[in-house]
Amino acid sequence: MKNQTTRREFLATASAGTALAFTASSYGRIRGANERISLGLIGCGGRGYGAFMPNIRKHEEEQPAEFTAVSDPWRPRRERAVERCREWYGRPARSFVSYRQIMERDDVDAVMIASCDHHHAVQLEAAAAVGKDAYVEKPLAMDMESLIRCCDAAKAAGIVVQNGTQVRSFPTSTGCRDLFRTGEFGKVSRIEQCRNSTRPYWYNWMQRAEPIREEDVDWEEFLMDRPMRPFDGKLLTGWYGYREFSDGPLSNLGVHFIDLYNYILGTTLPVSCVAHGGTFTWRDEYEFTCPDHCQALWTYPEDLMVSYSTNFGNGSGNVLKIYGEQGVLDLTRWTAPTYSSAGAIKSSELPGEDQPVPPVDTPDHYLDWLQCLRTREECNAPIDAGYHHCVPALMAIRAFDSGRRQIYDAEAREIRDG
């Protein structure tokens, strides 16, 4: 971009009462606690506008940061984010159609990637190429090739990365991790989650009240590397339900589960996986292709079996439990987990009745990222955590699609039929 504004020029336009003090082109040089971080928001939908923006804003006093640029293929989404920035900061953010335009900005220091699933890896790799730190939504990638590329690029560039698996930053999750480390549960041999609902989550995100105008959308930017086809507004907001843009519950919901038990137990990568499922309930005019029922089963080298299932035909039966020889850690309610000696097969010091897990003071996921942008320390969900949540999900998808057991070869970084 020939006439792009430098950071110094942009900050010179700030209102007199706003203290912005970037003076270097490299964000890695920032150390001052009162210096304001310049953020670019990539994707202004439910996650970007509804979660990222307010969760960064609430830490304004402790960790000054400002959204100075936003991008989204859909004009109305961009405009509402720009207007919010005007209300918050007294001036609008710069507005772009493409994430590439944000990457070109020397006056944007870090990016928050809240785009569609098939965009995540490409955009993280692009951020690494220009040295911008990143908060990136999960799942990190939809195939092994792009997963390896973006992880390698982030490590080579030395950027600070926070994966969007925010549950691991709950104080109760850290409490569960610390409790597990006492060894009082004995050997864990099984972990399971059933995450059910009365209908698929993609219906909640789909806009149906009013038509989406083709002239408001950069269709090629949305499709990215997917094959061109005539404009279809339902894909723009209903993409969660289509396999071309998302792999459904096994990856979109399942990665929160995978990341959480990795955090608590210290597990990383499974050795094998099988999976089944299909669309058994929600068949309608939208012709969604993500399954409304699915189940995956992984085995880990720690002699551990992990089960995940989703049933969108009935909302009962939700559970998330970690089973050990001497008791159970019950995280069915993520924010109020309990533990007990239930089902113990060996002598246990754990209480016989459910007891609440003591929370451990932990910065929330967004605060942790902002802090690490200044200290250059590793985030709570660093790039390796993204790799470790993504590989099991990709194994499950391959098993689901092929009907064959999948094996992960750690040395080759490869998933293959087993």
* Residue range 308-345, pLDDT digits in tens: 999 999 999 999 999 999 999 999 999 999 999 999 99
Res 158 pLDDT > 60: yes
Rounded alpha-carbon distances, angstroms, from residue 133 to 191, 279, 368: 34, 39, 13
**CA distance readout (Å), 24 to 8, 134, 180, 347:** 8, 18, 44, 60
The four Cα atoms 220, 221, 223, 228 give a dihedral, to 10 degrees, of: 10
Residues 201 and 294 in one domain: yes
Residue 338 placed within a domain: yes
Instruction: Give the Cα separation of 237 and 258 in Å (integer).
Output: 26
Domain co-membership, 350 together with 246: yes
2 part of a folded domain: no
Per the CB < 8 A criterion, the answer to whether 161 and 134 are in contact is: yes
Under 8 Å CB-to-CB from 227, ≥6 apart: which residues? none
Structure tokens at 362: 């932990």
Same domain assignment for residues 118 and 223 = no
The CATH code of the domain that includes 214 is 3.30.360.10
Whether residue 188 is found in the same domain as residue 95? no
∠ CA 115-111-382, nearest 5°, is: 90
Same domain, 133 and 178: no
Q: How far apart are CA 378 and CA 68, in angstroms?
A: 24
What is the pTM for the complete model shown?
0.91
In-domain check, residue 63: yes
Give domain status of residue 1, yes or no.
no
Task: Let me know if residue 229 belongs to a domain.
Answer: yes
**pLDDT averaged over the chain?**
92
- 129 and 235: one domain? no
Tell me the pLDDT band of 34, cut-offs 50, 70 and 90.
Answer: low
Question: Looking at the structure, do residues 147 and 296 belong to the same domain, yes or no?
Answer: no
The stretch 31-42 carries a mean pLDDT of 84
In a domain, 375, yes or no: yes
Q: Which pLDDT value is given to residue 412?
A: 97
Q: What is the domain count for the chain?
A: 2
CB 309 within 8 A of CB 276: no
If asked whether residues 322 and 374 sit together in one domain, one would say: no
Claim to verify: residue 136 and residue 152 sit in the same structural domain: yes
289 and 334 both lie in a single domain: yes
Q: What per-residue confidence (pLDDT) applies to 6?
A: 39
Q: Is residue 253 part of a domain?
A: yes
Q: What CATH number should be reported for the domain holding residue 99?
A: 3.40.50.720
- Asked if residue 268 and residue 162 are part of one domain, the reply reads no
Q: Are residues 264 and 338 in the same domain?
A: yes
Q: Is 106 helix (H, G, I), strand (E, B) or coil?
A: coil
- The CB-side HSE value for 303 (13 A sphere, CA atoms) comes to 5
Please indicate, yes or no, if residue 210 is contained in any of the structural domains: yes
Task: Please calculate the CA angle 82-40-19 and round it to the nearest 5 degrees.
Answer: 80
Residue 21 belongs to domain spanning = 7-166+369-381
